[in-house]
Amino acid sequence: MNSKKAENRMDEMQELQLLRLEEHGFWITFWALCAAVAAQALAGTGFREIVGELAVLVIAGGWIMVLCLKNGLWARSYRPSMKTNAVCSVIAGLALGGVFAVRAFAVLHKPLSPELAGRIALAMAAACGVCFGVLEAARAVYKRRRARLDDAEENGK
């Protein structure tokens, strides 16, 4: 095998089009995997059976987050703010609580009890807190990195 890098035969428009296709493919795969994990949890599958899918989700999400922060990127449609991070965290907590509640009551047929409701509420609060903490840490890193990149652009580097 030749160790030289293969010649790029695409023009800039084709490169941009390929990047968009790859981006859409990644996000379709990511959200389909999220849906598959939720569906398996709702079907009564145990944690051991879905740990592989969860690992792929964490690795892919972490990889994208690190690369975006490294390049000073956040999102196309909104700016990073504490309010946005809080809303996203609440949505994540509610989604996790919804999956847990449906699994407990509809799939596993557990009776409603204060203990079960407390465990679901605790899982929701923990998910919300962890998500908010990660998003706020990412926002702080983003702001520092963006300031550094903007300074470098102004200085002509």
**What whole-number distance in Å separates Cα of residue 116 and Cα of residue 57?**
27
Taking residue 143's Cβ as centre, other Cβ atoms within 10 Å add up to 13
Q: Quick one: pLDDT at residue 4? A: 64
Q: Quick one: pLDDT at residue 44? A: 83
- Sorting pLDDT into bands at 50, 70 and 90, what band is 45? confident
pLDDT tens digits for range 47-63: 899 999 999 999 999 99
**What whole-number distance in Å separates Cα of residue 29 and Cα of residue 35?**
10
Q: Quick one: pLDDT at residue 88? A: 95
**What whole-number distance in Å separates Cα of residue 157 and Cα of residue 42?**
52
3-state SS assignment for residue 44: coil
CA dihedral for 10, 16, 19, 20, sign (positive or negative): negative
Closest CA to 41 of 127, 128, 107: 107
pLDDT tens digits for range 8-21: 788 889 999 999 99
